[in-house]
């Protein structure tokens, strides 16, 4: 991935602290041509939020934001992890068309990196110390409290810009009761294999069939590369799971054939060692009218797959979000899990919806 940031927005208070300033300067030095623009807050920078959606990719690739994460809380989750850790970045260098982060942040969702990474890691360390050892296994992990550190970003992509991801992996390696985890669509074997995670980081590759990913997973690594990478990362001491998501319904039943084909590729590619530690999560697409309208301005082709008004209904608990019809999804999820079990019987499903 190559980036040519033209503007780097820097939250002014970064200059008040030696460590924050040093971390920010390290990032800025990677992009010597960028104009530095000081801002009061990293949040809702008007020229980014109100940027023309038609210029989505350009806005994303040209703008970077450096901020301070305040409110270091770790929220109970129970799905991807026991806790969603206070984020160390948000926004993303990729442009998945269904991304919920873009829905929340507005504009083209350019990357914001939080430079108070030491503070963020320390707050996770204190949090897990307060919890003490995990006494009962759950679907998140049998032994450790898991913290999702990439809920609002793709950490592997962030690693092209900053060293927050490596810092956190090293920190988890020395935490008594915690394990870090994040989902990614970016292959960075060289970066991860240079770090000794001590088995305390779980990388979750998000996968969907390539025939649909090429239209909606914009700016991400090819699916085959993600699958191949599992063997390398497992050999390097990482735990690697799959996130089969989002499951997108299109062309009658044709979408199911594509999943079967991808699972065959996984089965043919993974080593026994990688298969033995494999688990997955699986969930269907959510969408929204607002995101659809924005997407139509920069990648209408992807919406041919995502926008499915005959099948999409308001989510009961959040009516602005669209989900597949509840009965339809229940039926299709059961079928999906049956197919998955037939193709990858060694891959338990941690959770699905
Ligand atoms: S990789 Fe994740 S955070 Fe980045 S655009 Fe895709 S869904 Fe959003």
Q: Domain for residue 52, yes or no?
A: yes
- 201-231 pLDDT tens trace: 999 999 999 999 999 999 999 999 999 999 9
Q: Domain for residue 1, yes or no?
A: no
Q: Sheet containing 7-11: which strands, arranged edge to edge? A: 35-39, 7-11, 63-67, 111-114, 89-90
Residues 337, 348 contacting (CB under 8 angstroms): no
Model pLDDT, residue 84: 98
Ligand 1: does its nearest atom lie under 6 Å from the Cβ of 101? yes
The stretch 239-251 carries a mean pLDDT of 97
Q: Domain for residue 347, yes or no?
A: yes
Domain enclosing residue 171, as ranges: 7-352
Q: How far apart are CA 110 and CA 253, in angstroms?
A: 35
CA of 18 to the centre of ligand 1 (A): 31
Distance from first CA to last CA of the chain, Å, rounded? 32
Q: Domain for residue 148, yes or no?
A: yes
Whether residue 103 is predicted with pLDDT greater than 70 in this model: the reply is: no
CATH code for the domain of 297? 3.80.30.30
Q: How far apart are CA 65 and CA 84, in angstroms?
A: 22
Whether residue 107 is predicted with pLDDT greater than 80 in this model: the reply is: no
Residue nearest to atom 3 of ligand 1 (CA): 153
Residue nearest to atom 1 of ligand 1 (CA): 154
**Tokens 């996130």 label which residue?**
243
Whether residue 105 is predicted with pLDDT greater than 70 in this model: the reply is: no
Ligand 1: does its nearest atom lie under 6 Å from the Cβ of 95? yes
Q: Domain for residue 2, yes or no?
A: no
Pocket test for ligand 1, best of 93, 153, 212, 213 (most atoms within 8 A of CB): 153
Which residues does 282 contact at the CB level (< 8 Å), separation at least 6?
Answer: 243, 244, 245, 247, 333, 336, 337, 340, 349, 352
Q: Which residues pair with 324 in a beta bridge?
A: 312
Reference 228, options 200, 256, 198, 207; nearest CA is 207
Ligand 1: does its nearest atom lie under 6 Å from the Cβ of 153? yes
Structurally, the chain folds into a number of domains equal to: 1
pTM for this model (two decimals) = 0.96
- 314-344 pLDDT tens trace: 999 999 999 999 999 999 999 999 999 999 9
């Amino acid at each position: 991935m190559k980036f040519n940031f033209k503007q780097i927005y820097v939250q002014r208070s970064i200059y008040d602290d030696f460590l924050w300033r040093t971390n920010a300067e390290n990032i800025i030095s990677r992009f010597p041509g960028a104009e530095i623009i000081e801002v009061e807050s990293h949040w809702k920078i008007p020229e980014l939020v109100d940027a023309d959606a038609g210029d989505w990719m350009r806005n994303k690739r040209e703008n970077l934001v450096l901020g301070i994460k305040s409110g270091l809380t770790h929220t109970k989750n129970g799905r991807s992890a026991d806790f969603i850790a206070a984020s160390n970045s948000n926004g993303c260098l990729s442009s998945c068309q269904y991304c919920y982060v873009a829905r929340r942040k507005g504009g083209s969702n350019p990357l914001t990196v939080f430079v108070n990474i030491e503070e963020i890691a320390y707050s996770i360390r204190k949090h897990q110390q307060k919890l003490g050892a995990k006494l009962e296994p759950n679907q998140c992990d049998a032994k450790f409290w898991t913290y999702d550190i990439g809920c609002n970003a793709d950490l592997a992509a962030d690693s092209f810009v900053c060293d927050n991801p490596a810092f956190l992996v090293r920190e988890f390696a020395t935490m008594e009761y915690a394990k870090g985890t994040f989902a990614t669509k970016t292959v960075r074997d060289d970066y991860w294999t240079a770090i000794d995670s001590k088995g305390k980081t779980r990388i979750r590759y998000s996968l969907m069939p390539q025939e649909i990913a090429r239209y909606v997973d914009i700016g991400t690594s090819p699916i085959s590369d993600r699958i191949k990478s599992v063997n390398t990362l497992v050999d390097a001491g990482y735990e690697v799971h799959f996130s089969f998501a989002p499951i997108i319904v299109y062309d009658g039943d044709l979408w199911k054939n594509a999943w079967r084909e991808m699972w065959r590729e996984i089965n043919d590619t993974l080593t026994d060692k990688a298969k033995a530690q494999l688990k997955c999560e699986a969930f269907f697409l959510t969408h929204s009218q607002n995101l659809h309208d924005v997407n139509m301005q920069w990648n209408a082709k992807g919406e041919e797959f995502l926008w499915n008004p005959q099948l999409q209904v308001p989510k009961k608990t959040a009516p602005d979000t669209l989900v597949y019809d509840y009965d339809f999804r229940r039926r299709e999820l059961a079928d999906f899990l049956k197919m998955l079990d037939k193709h990858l019987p060694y891959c338990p499903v941690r959770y699905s919806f």
